[in-house]
Amino acid sequence: QYLLIGFGIVLFYILLLSISEHLNFDGAYWISCSAVMILISLYTQSMFRRIKITLLIATILTTLYIFFYSLLQLQDYSLLMGSIGLFIILAITMYMTRNIDWYKDESVKEIQD
């Protein structure tokens, strides 16, 4: 599943390159972005069969592609915006995973029960 979604993300760049040969970059970007977001969202829906997770994944993808597009448009400030964006993503990830016990051994719990 990870591999198929990874191929979908790589396909974005191939679509962008091939479509931008015939259209302007902005149009090619949004067509490629939309195609990949729909593809991954539908695949997520078929895997989890829960609309909440599908909408979450679609929202995350939309946010990321908008962020990447804005980085491409802000040529002078792209490094600054990229660094701030990565900092925010890392902070959110650290906050969301703060209560996970990474060293918890599930097999010991099953034996004790």
Percentage of the chain lying above the pLDDT 70 cut: 93
Q: Which of 52, 50, 41 lies closest to 9 in space, CA to CA?
A: 41
The fraction of the chain above a pLDDT of 90, given in percent, is: 45
Average pLDDT of the residues in 52-70: 90
Per-residue pLDDT tens for 6-35? 898 899 999 999 999 999 999 999 999 999
55: Cβ contacts below 8 Å, ≥ 6 apart: none
pLDDT-wise least confident of 37-46, 63-72, 96-105: 96-105
